[in-house]
Each structure stands twice: as structure tokens, then as C-alpha cells.
Amino acid sequence: MNQPINLLGNESSPYLRQHADNPVHWRPWGKSAIDEAQRAGKPILLSVGYAACHWCHVMAHECFEDQEVADLMNSCYVNIKVDREERPDIDQIYMAALGAMGEQGGWPLTMFLTPEGKPFWGGTYFPKNSRYGRPGFVDVLQSIDRVWRDDRDRVVQNVDALTSHVRNRLDAQANPVALDRQLFDQFAANITGMIDIEKGGLTGAPKFPSAPFMDTLWLSWLRNGNIQHRDAFIKSLRMMLQGGIYDHLGGGLSRYSVDDRWLVPHFEKMLYDNAQFIRHATYAYAETKDELFRLRIEETIDWLKREMLANGQCFASSLDADSEGEEGRFYVWAANEIADTRGSDLFCATYDVTPEGNWEGKTILNRLKSPDLLDSGAEESLKKTRSILFNRREARIHPQRDDKSLTDWNGLMIRALAEAARLLERDDWLGLALASYRSISESMVDGRLPHSVLEKSRLFPCLSSDYASMINAAISLYEATYEKAFLDDAARWLHSLDLWHLTEDGNHALSASDSTDVIIRVRGDQDEAIPSATGQIIEAITRLATATTDHTLQQRAEQLAENALGRVLEQRYGQAGVINSASLLLEPMKLVLVAPDKDHPLLRLAARYPDPRRIDIWIKFKEAATIELVPGSGEITIKKPAAYLCRGFICLAPVETAEALEALLKPQP
């Protein structure tokens, strides 16, 4: 029986559904599409993208909506569309193959595969006809078809070598490397050498938030009291949050800036970027008490509540860069659209609004010329003007939203909300985190988390990053509520992670063991915009071991970290997440708070000093009760409310006042 010509209409991904009306005979990734290619003896044309990707939309319009291009694709290839956010395991395999060919990666990813799914040639964006110095897609399709028909033996011969190369990179084997403070300190020094001292972030363009590198700097400051690393972190964050990459009217950070000064964003907003910046702003506010960081957290959480809730109480994945067919149209302004607004003179001077504009004749609002906040009166005037302009902007056509809720990205945001809520005493933010957490938990089937939820659709199996992210979210919710049920959840998810992702050598694969549609089960060592799956797993197990005083679990985390460090030193690229999480094992920190209630001054003080290296435990005070602080330390008898700070297996003398605890927790240069 003939299949429908395009099979994307009922997929769980909004990105795939966007292509359901293309004249291309698209198939979703899976065994049936690969079987079809093998029966037909045709190569596979694989196109990987995501909903908020500008150049994905451009190529779709120029090529996939074009009948001439579609006829060539349908005649010569079995065509498969993949949403990289739903299937990062697929994306990593073929992106690594493109890199092995010496090509620059990016999206859309366009790969040509054998009928068995092995890559032999690829690229990224192609226009229909040659321009921008790039070959035309029509020419590419015809050339690859000719080579496949006329010189297939050579293609197949090269495929095996390329697949072996990709396997060695993504499923690397290496000897373990012991945890070594010098390794972590040297890595932090290397990152510092790449920082743009004047503008923040990594030197050059484009400028990404680079959250794993930011984590490296902050951990180095906490570990060593390195002021240079603290200041680089705070300067970078400040410039991002005052640049055009930040939405000064609606809140939220865009994915990156195309220039070297944070002015011109690639306008899509991703959930993961905003989760990570909220965490970073939480640290920065705790350290500096600078109102800028509190305001940006507040504005961005307001944006989450207003625009990003989907699938019950989960968070959607992203907002598109484009609206009305133009990138950034929703966000930019002409000076005459602002001139009649009350307080416009101060606003224009502060937000870089000029008649000529600062980008393609329009203005991207930013405060890069005066990144410090003004006096309270001026800031109140600016707030009123922003409110007027926000209401005007609401009348515009909004960018589309990718409604699917990804478990790992939601886990990142739940953790961020829990930590910000704890520091700033915002029960409403904690409620937002708890609602998302419950929504995801209730979406489980047979004890397994889905990777993605869209309305009633569930995408199974999930990835190792989903379990790790939710373990970390559960532990942060425990610290915000001191409800032990969250630690129980974390333990159950660790069991599922091991059941479906543990490999024979004691490590974890990104894909589940019953994922039958991948040619390689990759490790998940590679960072993207978020820390790698392996990095998140090491952190999750380390934190759970500390929270539960489980020495065996801690030993396991150490072994995982040493194995991963061995692979990192073999590859030496894109693995800050592993290094950061491994550094937590140098001296796991636990703060045991023995107090009669959760509102005790000791608990409130601990909340004011967040530290990603530390787990806080509350034990209800009961005179003459006994507790064991760390494995093997022996039991102690509780005499009065007190706080016990333990570093590794060494616990300091208890302190009984908030002032004494502050002296222990406040970072010191």
C-alpha cells in the first residue's frame, strides 16, 4: 500500500508539522523510513533543524516549498526530517560526521546517508541556486545522485571510515584520570584568557552566553577566591542583561548576538538560555546585591508566566526569531514610534534610540552605553515608558512559539526557579516550579519519563539528560521546601537512568538501550548551549550522594567523573560541563541545619548564600537526638539548634547564630 506523500502531519514536533504541507515526501526519523530507503535502494536526505531557527525557515521557503526542488528530492532520495530538540542523539551523530568532513556545523543540517543511515556527505544551509558563495541545492542534489549511481562502491568504502571516526569521537574509550584540583584551576585560567575584558563574554563574534564557561568562572571564584574570575562572570552577565540580546520590554534573553558587543541578537528565545541565566543572576545578586540582577530575574519569570506555559503547567521550548517573515520585526523600533511617548527623551538617551537606528535603520533597545542603573526616580520614569511601549508592541503579530515541552529543559528551568525563589523568598516562583515538576511527573508512562510532551502526545524513550536534569531539579526543590519526597523522586529517577542508559563499562549512553534507530549510542559528553548529559549526570549523582549521605553513591560519582575526564583529555573540546561537575567532587559540601522549624534564622541565612557546590539539609530539632553528618564520622548528640558545615569528610564545629553561619558561607577572596 502506498504511503501518504508527506508523513509529518501527525508528529509531536511543531517543527516537523511546519513542514507537513511541503511538496517534499518527508518522513519522520525511524526504522520505517530507513527500511523504505533500503527497499528502494535510495540514499537518505536528512534535514535537521528546529522551530526557532531562522536559516531553517529560509531554506524551507527557498527549497522545500519549491516544486522543482521537491521533485528532485522525491525522485532521488528518501527524505527525513528531524527536530534536533526532540532527537539530540541523532543530531550529535550527524553533526560530528559533518565536522569529520572538515565542514563548519550549524542548522539546518543537511546530510546524505546510505540506506542504512551511514553518512557520506553533508553541509548546512543551501540556497536553491548558487549564491552567497554557496553551491545551489539543485546542483547538490543532482551531483550526489550522480555519484551514488555511478560510483557507489567508492561512496560505501568511504562511509565505513567516516562512521568509525564518528564512533571514536562520540563513543570514545579512554583510561580514567584522577580528580586533580590543578586540572580544574588550569581550565578556569584558560577560559579567563578567552574573556573579553571590556565587553564581557568570550572575545569576538558571535557572542553566546556560554553558560558552561560561566559556570567554570563562578566555581573557580568559590573554590579559590579568584576575584578576576568573579569579576569576569559578573561583567559578562551585566553586559548581556543590558545589551540588545536581552528583551528590555518583555523580559528574556535571546540565543546569542551576531556582533561582538551583545547588541544585535539572533532573536529567538530558548528556554534553556533563560533557565541558565536566571541561575547565574541568582548567584550575582547574592554576591553583589545589585538590583539589576533581581530585576532581570523578575522580568524574565514574568515572561515565562505570560508567554511560555504550555501542556498543562510545563514550559514551551522557544519563541521564533521571525514574525511576518522578518527576523526581529516584533522587537525593533523606529524612533518616531517612541517620540510621542511620555518620558521619551530620557528613554531614548538611555536605550540608544536615534533617528538613524542602530540596526538596519531600526533600533534594538539596549543600555550598553550606560549599563549601571540610574537613580530611583529616573528608573521609575523608564519603567513607565517601557510599559507604554510594551502595550504597543503587544498589538504586533507575535513570533510563533514551539509548544513542545522538553523534559531536560524544563528540569533546568525548575531548578532555576527553585533557587531564585529560595534566595528572594518568592513563593509564587516556587509554585511555578512545582507546577511544572508535577506536570512532568504526571506525564510518565510505566515509570519512564518522556523526552517531549505536546498536548496529548508523548515522545519516548527519553534521554539520559532528561533523568539527570530532573534529579537536579528535585534536589533543588528539596532545598527550597525541605520535603524529603523530592529526594525519594531523585532516587527513583536515578534507578531508571541506570536501568535504561547504563552501559557495560559502567558509564551512561545518551540514548536508551531500547532506542533501535541510532547507528551509534553516543556517550553524551559534548556540551551544547547547556552542559552535556554526562556532566549533568555526574552533578546529579554527586548532589544526591551528598544529600543522602550515601558513600557508595559518591564513590560511583567519582568513578564516572574519572572515566569522563579521561575522555575529555583525549578530545579536549566542548566539555566544560564534565569538568565543572567533576570539580564538585574535590570537596563535596553539606550544610546540616538543625532547627525547630523551616523559618528559623539559620535556614533563612543559608538561603541568602547559594552555592552550587553545597547541599543544604534540614533536620527538625529534637533535643538529645543523634545524627551522623558524613559517612563514618560517627553519631553526634544534638543539644541545641545549630548549623554544621561539612567539606568532604571534615565537619567544622557547629555554629548557633546566623552571624556565625554567615562568616562560614560568605565567599572570601
**Percent of the residues in the chain that have a pLDDT greater than 70, as a whole number:** 99
Strand locations in 283-378, DSSP E?
309-310, 314-315, 318-319, 322-323, 326-327
Output DSSP code: residue 399. P
Q: H-helix or E-strand containing 590?
A: strand 589-595
413 and 390 in one domain? no
pLDDT(579) > 90: yes
Residue with the three cell numbers 514536533: 13
Residue/partner pairs of 123-128 with CB below 8 Å, 24 or more apart: 123/98, 124/55, 124/98, 125/55, 125/58, 125/59, 126/59, 126/63, 127/59, 127/62, 127/63, 128/62, 128/63, 128/66, 128/68, 128/69
CB-facing half-sphere around the CA of 105: CA atoms within 13 A: 13
* Nearest C-alpha neighbor of 580 from the set 202, 200, 57, 229: 229
Q: Does residue 3 sit within a domain? A: no
At residue 2, the pLDDT reads 58
In this prediction, residue 170 has a pLDDT band, given cuts at 50, 70 and 90, of: confident
The answer to whether position 204 is within a domain reads yes
How large a percentage of the chain has pLDDT more than 90? 85
Higher local confidence (pLDDT), 140 or 104: 140
User: Which cell goes with 574?
Assistant: 566542548
The Cα–Cα gap between 537 and 541 comes to 6
Whether residues 477 and 579 fall in one domain: yes
For residue 124, being part of any structural domain is answered with: yes
Instruction: Note whether 343 and 264 are same-domain residues.
Output: no
Segments in 261-290 forming alpha helices (H): 271-288
197 and 286 part of one domain: yes
Of 12-26, 271-285, 622-636, the least confident? 622-636
Residue 303 cell numbers, joined: 515572561
- Arithmetic mean of pLDDT, 531-539: 97
Peptide bond into 461 cis (omega under 30): yes
- On whether both 207 and 153 belong to a single domain, the answer is no
pLDDT in the model for residue 246: 98
Number of domains in the chain: 4
Whole-angstrom Cα distance, residue 590 to residue 367? 40
How far apart, in whole angstroms, are the C-alpha atoms of residue 466 and residue 74? 36
Q: Is cis: bond before 108, omega within 30 of 0? A: yes
Domain boundary among 565, 586, 607: 586
- Select from 227, 226, 253, 220 the least CA-distant residue to 238: 253
> Which amino acid is present at 549?
T
Same domain, 86 and 23: yes
Q: Which domain holds residue 660?
A: 589-665
DSSP-based three-state secondary structure for 510: coil
**Band (602; pLDDT cuts 50, 70, 90):** very high
pLDDT of res. 163: 83
Same domain, 43 and 165: yes
Please report whether residue 648 resides in a domain. Answer: yes
- Measured in residues, the chain has a length of 669
Any idea which residue has 560541563 for its cell?
Answer: 577
Determine contact, residues 581/568, Cβ cutoff 8 Å: no
| Secondary structure (DSSP) of 250-266 | T--BEEEESSSSS-SEE
pLDDT in tens, 96-137: 999 988 888 899 999 999 999 999 999 999 999 988 777 899
Among the ranges given (151-160, 209-218, 240-249), the one the predictor scored with the smallest mean pLDDT: 151-160
**DSSP assignment of 479-492:** HHH--THHHHHHHH
Which of 519, 553, 586 is the last residue in one of the domains?
A: 586
The CATH number of the domain holding residue 195 is 1.50.10.10
Three-class HEC string of 29-86: CCHHHHHHHHHHCCCEEEEEECCCCHHHHHHHHHHHCCHHHHHHHHHHCEEEEEECCC
Query: Last residue of a domain, which of 105, 139, 170?
Result: 170
What residues are paired with 635 via a beta bridge?
A: 628
pLDDT for the residue numbered 1: 43
Residue 117 per-residue DSSP state: S
Residue 425 CB contacts under 8 Å (≥ 6 apart), including other chains: 607
Its pTM stands at 0.95
**By the 8 A CB rule, do 227 and 221 touch?**
yes
Q: What does the pLDDT average to over 160-170? A: 80
Cα 570 to Cα 97, 174, 272, 431, distances in angstroms: 18, 7, 28, 44
Could you tell me if 564 and 607 lie in one domain?
A: no
Render pLDDT for 373-431 as a digit per residue (tens, 0 to 9): 999 999 999 999 999 999 999 999 999 999 999 999 999 999 999 999 999 999 999 99
How much is the pLDDT for 3? 67
Side chain identity at 322, as an amino acid letter? D
Residue 340, in any domain of the structure: yes
pLDDT at 514: 93
Whether pLDDT at 449 is above 70 = yes
Residue 154 has pLDDT above 90, yes or no: no
- Mean pLDDT over 510-514 rounds to 95
**What are 299's three cell numbers?**
522580568
Is residue 64 a contact partner of residue 70, using CB atoms and an 8 Å limit?
yes
For 390, phi then psi, to 5°, come to -60, -45
Q: What are the two backbone dihedrals, phi and then psi, of residue 264, each rounded to the nearest 5 degrees?
A: -100, 105
> What are 81's three cell numbers?
526530517
| Residue 232 lies inside a defined structural domain of this protein | yes
Comparing CA positions, the residue from 150, 156, 229 lying closest to residue 192 is 229
Mean pLDDT of the chain: 94
User: Is 69 found in the same domain as 52?
Assistant: yes
Are 307 and 209 part of one and the same domain?
yes
Per-residue model confidence (pLDDT) at position 290: 98
